Amino acid sequence: MEGFTALYIFMLAAFTGYEVISRVPVILHTPLMSGSNFVHGVVLVGAMVVLGHADPDSPLQLAIGFVAVFLGAANAAGGYVVTERMLAMFKPGANKAGKAKEGAQ
Amino acid sequence: MTAKWFIDASYFAVAVVFILGLKAMSSPVTARRGIVWAGLAMIAATLVTFATPGMQNFGLMIVAIASGGALAWWSGKVVKMTDMPQMVAIYNGMGGGAAAAIAALEFARGEVHGTVVTTLAVLGALIGSVAFSGSCVAFAKLQGIMKSAWRLPAQNAVNILLALAVVGLGGVIVAAGEVKGELIVAFFVLALVLGVILTSPIGGADMPVVISLLNAFTGLAVGFEGYVLGNPALIVAGIVVGASGTLLTQLMAKAMNRPISNVLFTPISGAAAGGGEAIEGSMREFSALDAASVMRYASKVIIVPGYGMAVAGAQHKVWEMAQLLEEGGVEVVFAIHPVAGRMPGHMNVLLAEAGVPYDKIFDLEEINAEFPQADVALVIGANDVVNPVARTDKSSPIYGMPILNVDMAHNVIVVKRGKGAGYSGIENALFYKDNCRMLYGSAQQAIAEVITHVKALES
C-alpha cells in the first residue's frame, strides 16, 4: 500500500472513530467499550493470514501463529458474548415519564 | 471475478458494518442491533479469510479458532455482571497479544521490509505487548488475584528508562534492516515487562481509565499490524477503535478529575489522602423503620447506588423497594455518577440486570439540579462520589472532581457497612452533615428491612 494512501486511511478512520461515539450517553460507556473491544477482535483475520503463510516445517512459526489465532479468536468471541449480554438487558420503562412531574413541591 | 477481488470486497463491507454497528451501539434503542450486526460481520470476515490464496496450516488454524473461541465464549457466558470489567480487560489483552504475535511471526518469517513497514510493525508490537501484559495485570487486580498496588522505588524513573530502552531497541531493529532473533526476543520481553511495570502501581479506583486506555492501545496495534499485512479492514477497525477508545478514556478521566498522566504516574495513595481538613461533628444513626417512613411519605426519592451495592448483590432488592415506593405514589429515580461501579456505565448495566428501566436512570448533569427538590437522597454503597469536600476543600485529593450533590437534598440516608473511609481512604464530610443519617448494615439486609417496614406502613 502507498504510504500516503495509508496515511489518509489512518486519518479518516481516526475522525470516524471520534465522531461515531462523541454523543454517546454515559449509560452506554461500558457496553461501548466492550463493543469496541469486540471490533478490534478483527485482528483474528490478520492472525489467520500470517498463520496461513507460516512455514509448515518451522515449529517456532507455527507456535507463534497458533498463539496469534488463539488470542484473536478469544478476543472476538469473548468480546461479543460480554457485549451482547450487557446490551440485552437494556429495556425502556413501561410508563414513560408518566408521573414525572407529579410530586414537585 | 477473482478470489482476491471477492475477499477485498468482503473486507470492505465488513469495515462499513463495523462502523455502523459502533454507531448503533451509541444509542440504547439500537445498541443491541449494533452488536449483532458487528458479530455477523466478524463471522463473514473469518469465513472469507479461509479463501485467501496461498494459505496452508488450515488444521492448526481451525483448532486455534475453535479452542480460543470456545474458551472465551464459555467464560463470557458464565461471568457475573459485577465481574464484567476484568473480562473486558482480559479479552482486550488477548487482542493486543494477537497483534504482537502477528508482528513476531512476520519478523520470524523475515517478511518485514522497508522503513515504514518495519516502523509500524515495531510500534504495533510494542503497543500490543504493553496492552497484553498490562491487561493481564488489570485483570489480576480486579479479580483479586493480585492484591495491592506495588511501587518500585523511583517508579517514574524506572518507567521512563524502560520505555526509552524499548523504543531504542525498536529503533535499532528499524535501522538494522535485516533482523536478528536475539534482538527481537529482547524487544518483546522488555515491552511485556513495561506493560507490567506501568500498570502495577495503579490502584483499583483508577483501573477503569487504564482498561479503556489499553483498549485504545490494542486498537492502534491492530491498525498498525493491518498496515504491515496490507489489510485495510484491520487498519480501519483498529484505528476507529483507537480513536473512539481514546475519546472514551478522556471522558472517563474527566469524570474522575484525574488527568490520564496523573492516573499513570501519580496514583492516589494513602499518603496523599492524608491531607485535607479534619472534619468536625458526629455521624447520626438511623433505623430501618425511620428510613422506611421518611421515604414512604416523601414525594421524591433519588437513589444513588455505588459499587458497594453491586458487590452486595442488592440491586434486585433496591429495585423491589423502589417499585413499592412508587406504588405508594412516591417518585423514585436513580442517579448515577460517571464512575460509579468500576467503569462508566457499569452501574447502569447492573441496574438494567435487576430490571430497572433505563429512563429512570439519570446521569450527573441531568440530575444534579434536582437534589434540592428531593425529599430523600438514598446513598447505597457509594462514598467518594458524594463527598462534598470535592466542592469545598482545596487540599483534598479529590478536590474538583464532579460529585452528585446529595447533601443538598432535604434528607440524606446513607446505607453503609461500617464507619470506615471510602475506596480512596478519604473521610467523607457528607456523613457529618446535619441532614444526613447513617443506616448501618450490608446493603442487601438493610434494604430488605426497609422493605418490610414499608409494607407494614401500607397495611
Q: Higher model confidence: residue A95 or residue A27? A: A27
Complex confidence, ipTM: 0.86
What's the predicted TM-score (pTM) here?
A: 0.80
CB contact under 8 A, B248 and A33: yes
Q: Which three cell numbers stand for residue B353?
A: 440486570
CATH number, residue B451: 3.40.50.1220
Question: Number of structural domains, chain A?
Answer: 1
CB contact under 8 A, B68 and A70: yes
Per-window interface: B 429-458 vs A, CB < 8 A: none
CB contact under 8 A, B247 and A21: yes
Question: Any chain A CB within 8 A of the CB of B94?
Answer: yes
Q: Write out the H or E segment, with its range, that includes residue B301.
A: strand B300-305
Please report residues of B whose CB lies closer than 8 A to that of A13.
223, 235-236, 238-240, 243
A100 in any annotated domain: no
B280 in any annotated domain: no
A11 in any annotated domain: no
Q: Which residues contact B115 (CB under 8 A, 6 or more apart)?
A: B174
Q: Give the nearest partner residue to B348 out of A17, A27, A88, using CB atoms.
A: A27
Tens of each residue's pLDDT in chain B, 459 residues: 688 899 999 999 999 999 999 999 888 888 889 999 999 999 999 999 999 988 999 999 999 999 999 999 999 999 988 888 889 999 999 999 999 999 999 999 888 888 889 999 999 999 999 999 999 999 998 887 876 666 677 777 888 899 999 999 999 888 887 767 888 999 999 999 999 998 888 876 678 888 999 999 999 999 999 999 999 999 999 999 999 999 888 877 776 666 777 777 765 544 344 444 456 667 788 888 889 988 998 999 999 998 778 877 888 999 999 999 999 899 999 998 877 766 767 888 888 888 898 889 888 888 999 999 999 999 998 888 888 888 888 777 777 778 899 999 999 999 987 766 555 667 788 888 888 989 888 888 899 999 999 988 876
- The pLDDT of A2-18, averaged and rounded, is 88
Q: B301 with B398, same domain?
A: yes
What is the domain extent for residue B370?
288-458
Question: Number of Cβ pairs closer than 8 Å across A and B?
Answer: 413
Domain boundary among B214, B242, B271: B271
Q: Is the pLDDT of residue A74 over 90?
A: yes
Q: B213 with B305, same domain?
A: no
Task: Write down the pLDDT at residue B121.
Answer: 93
B349 in any annotated domain: yes
Q: B116 with B249, same domain?
A: yes
What is the domain extent for residue A59?
27-93
A56 in any annotated domain: yes
CB contact under 8 A, A18 and B242: no
Smallest CA–CA distance from B348 into chain A, residue: A27
Q: B206 with B351, same domain?
A: no
Contact B323, B354 (CB under 8 A): no
Question: Any chain A CB within 8 A of the CB of B354?
Answer: no
A47 in any annotated domain: yes
Task: Write down the pLDDT at residue B306.
Answer: 85
Q: B256 with B392, same domain?
A: no
CA B372, B373, B378, B381: dihedral to nearest 10 degrees? -40
A69 exposure class (CB count in 10 Å sphere: 0-12, 13-18, 19+):
buried
Q: B199 with B245, same domain?
A: yes
Please report residues of A whose CB lies closer than 8 A to that of B297.
none
Task: Write down the pLDDT at residue A98.
Answer: 35
Question: Any chain A CB within 8 A of the CB of B233?
Answer: yes
- The pLDDT of A61-87, averaged and rounded, is 95
Domain boundary among B246, B271, B296: B271
Q: B169 with B302, same domain?
A: no
Q: How confident is the model at residue A80 (pLDDT cuts 50, 70, 90)?
A: very high
Give the distance from residue B300's alpha carbon to the nearest chain A alpha carbon, in angstroms. 6
3 state SS of B117: helix
B22 in any annotated domain: no
A8 in any annotated domain: no
Please report residues of A whose CB lies closer than 8 A to that of B238.
13, 40, 42-43
B199 in any annotated domain: yes
SS (H, E, C) A36-90: HHHHHHHHHHHHHHHHHCCCCCCHHHHHHHHHHHHHHHHHHHHHHHHHHHHHCCC
**B384 is an active site residue:** yes
Q: Give the nearest partner residue to A13 out of B57, B91, B240, using CB atoms.
A: B240
Question: Number of structural domains, chain B?
Answer: 2
Options B206, B290, B375, B384, the catalytic residue: B384
Give the distance from residue A20's alpha carbon to the nearest chain B alpha carbon, in angstroms. 5
Contact B153, B201 (CB under 8 A): no
Q: B223 with B86, same domain?
A: yes
Contact B423, B381 (CB under 8 A): no
